[in-house]
Amino acid sequence: MDRLIINGGKQLKGTISVSGSKNATLPIAVAAAILADSSSVIHNVPNLNDIDSLCAVLEVLGATTKLENSTLYIEPGDRSAYEAPYDLVRKMRASIYVLGPLVARLGIAKVSFPGGCAIGPRPVDLHLKGLQQLGAEVEIDSGYIIARANRLVGAEMYLRGPHGSSVGATANVMMAATLADGTTTIRGAACEPEVADLANFLNAMGADIGGVGTSTLTIHGVKQLHGTEYTVIPDRIEAGTFMVAGAVTKGEVFVKGAPAEHLGATSEKLIEAGVQLDWADDGVRVRTPRDFQAVHIATDTYPGFPTDMQAQMMGLLSITPGISTITEGIYLDRFMHASELNRMGADIRVEGNHAVVRGKLRLSGAPVMASDLRAGAVLVLAGMAAAGETVVSRIYHIDRGYENIEQKLAGIGADIIRVSD
Ligand code: EPZ
């Protein structure tokens, strides 16, 4: 397995570019492969393992996919296959996105029940509830979700769970509703930019979705959807990760392509913590002219502080004087990275979904292990800020969501190399 070897203490300086959004590309690729009756061309697609894994699922379902120079070409299949198998779904949780489109298009879907992961249980009850409200019959058999419907019928529904709105459930039900008979209203819909990007893509395919970007979506069903050409939004979480990279190394970094309009809560917390952000049309300059200040963070659904930036901010707060707190409101045990940061000399105490971070002057490099995508990212950030050498193992987690991370960071002065065992 690959590892990243990082020698810390280098101030990052220069321009680092943001790739397209992983979490927008995934549902958009599903829509293009299953809901459309002609081919699509999707630009600004990041070259990531997650994209490859999803394309493998779409190929099993009969589609043809090709990713070339950040453009994904998708040819829908002949609509005969409707099963997403366990050995592929277990690698790619987001395969659950094929459930709604398959039922809408073929009247049947068989998708392996997605497992949990390091950030906790990942239920899909809201996905199933929404599809049932559209008239699908759903059963669980031998680890598979089997959903059937002769014809989906538009419905009014409220789609929030105990932790608020659901990105995945909103995407799944919205996609299914585009081909349902009549009108669907989803209240409590997720407002994340990735959901809005999917809605914009669906409308470009001929869907009729109103309320895009709000918590109430109105979908008027249509008879068919055609392929289209589209450009995916930038990845706000990758951008936020690079903003923190500039801060923790006390460098001066321009994050090119960072989407200001999607980074409100992240920017506000970084500024409160003492980071200087100067936004331009094509990105943001990150500087740290003053000492960091302790802050209190509570993750929330969009436009609140994103859970996918929680680990990265914990890395910054680990070297921020004073006592900071983090409350994880979305995934109640998304703190696996805290113990790895403590191996590097951080002082973080976790109680349930709360973490108390007592900032240290400096972290020290150590061998650490990535447990999930963003936990892996913060270990890279901490390694760049720490004194000495850090070796990050299990970096396949990082490769799922960060394109060429070591090349991008080395390009602005990080001492980081990838080694393969
Ligand atoms: C998406 O996951 C993202 N993944 C996650 O990013 C992100 O952390 C999450 O949204 C929250 O923003 C993709 O887009 C591929 P949810 P998703 O449904 O859709 C509960 C990353 O780092 N819930 O919005 O699975 C759930 O347990 C990944 O790129 C139910 O209770 O998240 C959680 O507590 C990690 N029932 C909360 O809702 C359901 O049916 C939000 O989950 C579904 C979810």
Looking at residue 116, what is its pLDDT?
67
How far away, in angstroms, is 282 Cα from ligand 1 center? 29
Q: How far is CA 153 from CA 63, 149, 156, 185, 309, in A?
A: 26, 9, 10, 12, 38
How far away, in angstroms, is 22 Cα from ligand 1 center? 14
Q: Report the 10 Å Cβ neighbour count for 84.
A: 25
Residues with CB under 6 A from ligand 1: 23, 26, 94, 122-127, 161-163, 166-169, 190, 192, 194, 307-308, 330-331, 373-374, 401
If we measure between CA atoms, which residue out of 112, 110, 161 comes closest to residue 136?
110
Give the residues across from 368 on adjacent strands: 392
How far away, in angstroms, is 255 Cα from ligand 1 center? 26
pLDDT > 70: percent of the chain: 100
- Measured CA to CA, the distance from residue 363 to residue 91 in angstroms comes to 33
Q: What's this model's pTM, rounded to 2 decimal places?
A: 0.97
Categorize the per-residue pLDDT at 360 as very low, low, confident or very high, splitting at 50, 70 and 90.
very high
Residues marked active site are found at 117
If we measure between CA atoms, which residue out of 114, 110, 135 comes closest to residue 125?
114
Q: Report the 10 Å Cβ neighbour count for 371.
A: 21
The yes-or-no verdict on residue 99 having pLDDT over 80 is yes
- CB-based contact 152:136 (threshold 8 Å): yes
Query: Which tokens sit at 312?
Result: 């990265």
pLDDT > 90: percent of the chain: 93
Categorize the per-residue pLDDT at 18 as very low, low, confident or very high, splitting at 50, 70 and 90.
very high
Looking at residue 90, what is its pLDDT?
84
- Secondary structure letter of residue 387 according to DSSP: B
Do strands 296-298 and 323-327 pair parallel, antiparallel, or not at all (unpaired)?
A: parallel
- Average pLDDT of the chain? 96
- Measured CA to CA, the distance from residue 179 to residue 376 in angstroms comes to 39
Q: Which atom of ligand 1 is nearest to the CA of 401?
A: 29
Residue with tokens 């979490």: 23
| pLDDT (tens digit per residue) in 102-130 | 999 999 999 998 876 778 778 999 999 99
81-85, 204-208, 386-390: which range is least confident on average? 81-85
- Ligand 1, atom 8: closest residue by C-alpha: 308
C-alpha dihedral sign at 163, 165, 167, 173: positive
How far away, in angstroms, is 118 Cα from ligand 1 center? 13
| pLDDT (tens digit per residue) in 77-98 | 888 899 998 888 888 889 999 9
SS3 (DSSP) at 252:
strand
- Ligand 1, atom 14: closest residue by C-alpha: 23
Give 390 or 121, the one with higher predicted confidence.
Answer: 390
- Ligand 1, atom 27: closest residue by C-alpha: 122
Counting ligand 1 atoms within 8 A of each CB, the residue from 19, 21, 23 with the most, and so the one to mutate, is 23
How far away, in angstroms, is 359 Cα from ligand 1 center? 29
Following DSSP, what letter does each residue of 151-195 receive, concatenated? S-B--EEE-EETTEE-HHHHHHHHHHHTTSBSEEEEET----HHH
Amino acid identity of residue 227, one-letter, is G
SS3 (DSSP) at 304:
coil
Q: Which atom of ligand 1 is nearest to the CA of 373?
A: 22
| pLDDT (tens digit per residue) in 282-331 | 999 999 999 999 999 999 999 999 999 999 999 999 999 999 999 999 99
C-alpha dihedral sign at 343, 344, 349, 354: negative
If we measure between CA atoms, which residue out of 116, 119, 225, 133 comes closest to residue 173?
133
SS3 (DSSP) at 128:
helix
- Measured CA to CA, the distance from residue 237 to residue 239 in angstroms comes to 5
Looking at residue 85, what is its pLDDT?
87
- Measured CA to CA, the distance from residue 290 to residue 220 in angstroms comes to 52
Q: Which atom of ligand 1 is nearest to the CA of 332?
A: 34
Mean pLDDT of 336-365: 97
Looking at residue 204, what is its pLDDT?
98
Query: Which tokens sit at 353?
Result: 């979904």
Residue with tokens 């801060």: 247
How far away, in angstroms, is 132 Cα from ligand 1 center? 20
- CB-based contact 365:5 (threshold 8 Å): no
Counting ligand 1 atoms within 8 A of each CB, the residue from 117, 160, 166, 174 with the most, and so the one to mutate, is 166
Counting ligand 1 atoms within 8 A of each CB, the residue from 50, 89, 98, 330 with the most, and so the one to mutate, is 330
Q: Which atom of ligand 1 is nearest to the CA of 125?
A: 40
| pLDDT (tens digit per residue) in 44-73 | 999 999 999 999 999 999 999 999 999 999
- CB-based contact 148:137 (threshold 8 Å): yes
